[in-house]
Amino acid sequence: MPADSPAVEIDGLVMRYGDKVAVDGLSLTVARGSITAVLGPNGAGKTTTLETCEGYRKPQQGTVRVLGLDPQRQRHDLLPRIGVMLQHGGAWSGVRAMEMLDHIAAMHAFPLDTALLSERLGLADCGRTPYRRLSGGQQQRLALAMALVGRPELVFVDEPTAGMDPQARRTTWELLEEIRRDGVTVVLTTHHMDEAERLADQIHIIDRGTLIATGSPSELTRGNRSATIRLVVTRPFPDSAPESLRFALGPDAEVRQLDDVSMLIVGPANSTTLGTVSRWCETHDVLPETLSLGQRTLEDVFLELTGRQLSA
């Protein structure tokens, strides 16, 4: 495969479950040597898309290429070159952690040193513990070790830090960044926006089976609007408050009422915008409890695009 060709290339993918369309003409690419995050609300089609890339599902329409190979027809050639970290499962209930990792390592021609890998991921102290007795974070660390032990060119990681304590989470981030520097491509799904913003070179946001936004974290958060203003008041807003404030701010700002006493304004981060909001409060006899200006975050972008929280 040419060095500049995508590690993953999806073109017009359609997947259905009965009458329900899970993936609806999805097209996206993953650059080699990158960490690419695929984000979306529950039911957006992420899992189906990635399971198709991993060869567990056959495309009903469209094409999928992973490392230049068809995950169905060329599965035998592809499997030794990829790693897959599942969010749940992947190990027998009674097997000890290091027994499982050694077993997976034995399936590969040139595996990593399992003792060093387990030490790096903090598994050394629980290596003799049966899988069912591991904490959620320990199970995740073992799953990541199993995905990496075969020296894959491309690794799919699903919720890599779920259940981990802050130190283990940071260690995992550092390891994923390290393998990216070594040329390994990482495809990441996560419900932690800070994780995607920290790790990803590129982010694809999908909803209802279609790609709705793509770009680097800075491109997505910058856009044409670079800040958010959060207005929280002491008593409920008047009924026409969002429309009235939107009219006062003009076309360069968006206003969303979050609940009876809070609004989110997305727009230019300047004194004029803040001044307009303050004057509007005075004119409409609205007493602010807090009026805060902050940089637009990836979570803000996600909510604007999908209208839904990215919840686990």
- Provide the pLDDT confidence category of residue 253 given band limits of 50, 70 and 90: confident
Phi and psi, residue 195, nearest 5°: -65, -45
Note the pLDDT tens digit of each residue in 14-26: 999 999 999 999 9
More confident residue, 216 or 87: 216
Position 240 scores a pLDDT of: 92
pLDDT at 86 over 90: no
27 neighbors 13 (Cβ within 8 angstroms) = yes
- Provide the pLDDT confidence category of residue 274 given band limits of 50, 70 and 90: confident
Percent of the chain with pLDDT over 70: 95
Return d(Cα 86, Cα 104) in angstroms, integer. Answer: 14
Note the pLDDT tens digit of each residue in 158-186: 999 988 999 999 999 999 999 999 999 99
Note the pLDDT tens digit of each residue in 184-232: 999 999 999 999 999 999 999 999 999 999 999 988 887 544 567 889 9
Across 93-117, average pLDDT = 96
Return d(Cα 117, Cα 146) in angstroms, integer. Answer: 10
pLDDT at 2 over 80: no
User: Which SS3 state, helix, strand or coil, does residue 205 take?
Assistant: strand
Across 88-115, average pLDDT = 93
Return d(Cα 169, Cα 194) in angstroms, integer. Answer: 12
Percent of the chain with pLDDT over 90: 77
Per the prediction, the chain carries an average pLDDT of 91
Position 311 scores a pLDDT of: 53
28 neighbors 71 (Cβ within 8 angstroms) = no
Tell me the two tokens of residue 61.
Answer: 């329409």
Note the pLDDT tens digit of each residue in 26-52: 999 999 999 999 999 999 999 999 999
Q: How many Cα atoms are found within 13 Å in the side-chain-facing hemisphere of 268?
A: 10
Return d(Cα 219, Cα 270) in angstroms, integer. Answer: 20
